[in-house]
Amino acid sequence: MSVESFLASGPLAQHQVVIELTPASNRLKHPSEALEQAMDALWQEKVTAQPQIFDGAKFRLATSELAAGHLRLSWGLTSYKEYIGTCSRPDIVAQLHRDGGTLHLSRKVGVAAALVTADNKVVLLQRSSAVGAYPNMADVPGGHPEPSNIGLAFGSEYLPSDELNARCVAELFDSITAEVEEEVNVPRSALSPPLLLGVTLQGAAETPSYAFLLHCKLTAAQVAARYQDAKDQYESSHLIYLSADALNTEALKLTPSAAGCLGLLRVYLEQARM
């Protein structure tokens, strides 16, 4: 896991992020048909073991550049199936890297929230055993920006445009607010606009998870009360609270996304105290 901070000049607001969505940034299939079939088999094994998971379009990160206080991202489309196939077996990941760098990897775009309550607590979720990845680990609220929300499916034909690019940026920032609302049941009206802290590149497959800071007008006790009616509660069993002043995670088994997100939050808070 590696973590890239965008905090050189402070966290990034939505107007400081530029995305170019183009088919040229889609995952490139590996020339070996046998290898592609092996990755298909990994997906079938996953679905057999966990019938509740399903395929769907995701955004794919191709390149990223932070310069002059702006973040420029090149995005394409991938799928959850491609993600599972390209990251589940270390030997396959190594071959994909060896034969094409990141070109053959899914690199699906994820989002993660450092959610800070009015009484300065950071909200985590204990993941349930029903989730497809990182079951029974401590996580932050998060998920994915969804291509379907801007009218795209995996394999969609589309014309790149400034309008589509702007919708991608809006979806990136809106998605983390939506995930907090669905997973924790905190209403949008109680959340600050998200600020982008950085990105965690998870594992050898370098799967990106963008970490956002969101302040909440509710206390930890008020969040706990609302969590009982959360829409996506099957994904987690209970909430965990950490003091933002200490952020002591030693007793927790964190997902890579959560570890990266909390690490970026720690850097941000240290800068804010200076």
What confidence score (pLDDT) does residue 76 get? 98
**Cα separation, 136 vs 34, whole angstroms:** 34
What confidence score (pLDDT) does residue 230 get? 87
What confidence score (pLDDT) does residue 193 get? 98
State the average pLDDT over residues 263-274: 92
Question: What's the structural domain count of the chain?
Answer: 1
pLDDT digits 0-9 by tens, 13-65: 999 999 999 999 999 999 999 999 999 999 999 999 888 888 999 999 999 99
| Lowest-confidence segment of 17-31, 120-134, 157-171, 180-194 by average pLDDT | 120-134
Phi, psi angles (nearest 5°) of residue 108: -60, 145
Q: Is the pLDDT of residue 121 over 80?
A: yes
Amino acid at site 257: S
Whether residue 124 contacts residue 249, with contact meaning beta carbons closer than 8 Å, is answered with no
Rg for the chain (alpha carbons), in Å?
Answer: 18
Give the residue ranges of DSSP H helices in the chain: 33-49, 80-87, 90-100, 162-184, 220-227, 256-273
Burial readout 166-188 (b: 16 or more C-beta within 10 A, e: otherwise):
ebbbbbbbbbbbbbbbbbbbbee
| Axis crossing angle, helix 90-100 with helix 80-87, rounded to the nearest 10 | 100
What confidence score (pLDDT) does residue 235 get? 82
What confidence score (pLDDT) does residue 56 get? 95
List the CATH number of the domain containing 30: 3.90.79.10
In angstroms, the Cα distances linking 93 to 85, 137, 230, 257, 272 are 9, 23, 36, 19, 38
| Lowest-confidence segment of 130-134, 190-194, 224-228, 237-241 by average pLDDT | 130-134
Q: Is the pLDDT of residue 234 over 90?
A: no
Residues forming a β-bridge with 70: 67
Across the chain, mean pLDDT equals 95
What confidence score (pLDDT) does residue 10 get? 87
Q: Is the pLDDT of residue 274 over 80?
A: no
Calculate what percentage of the chain has a pLDDT beyond 90: 85
- Single pTM value for the model: 0.95
**Cα separation, 146 vs 219, whole angstroms:** 29
Domain limits at 86? 2-272
What confidence score (pLDDT) does residue 128 get? 87
What confidence score (pLDDT) does residue 159 get? 92
Whether residue 247 contacts residue 263, with contact meaning beta carbons closer than 8 Å, is answered with no
Whether residue 83 contacts residue 180, with contact meaning beta carbons closer than 8 Å, is answered with no
State the average pLDDT over residues 214-241: 92
The structure tokens listed for 27 are 């995952």
pLDDT tier at 267, thresholds 50, 70, 90: very high
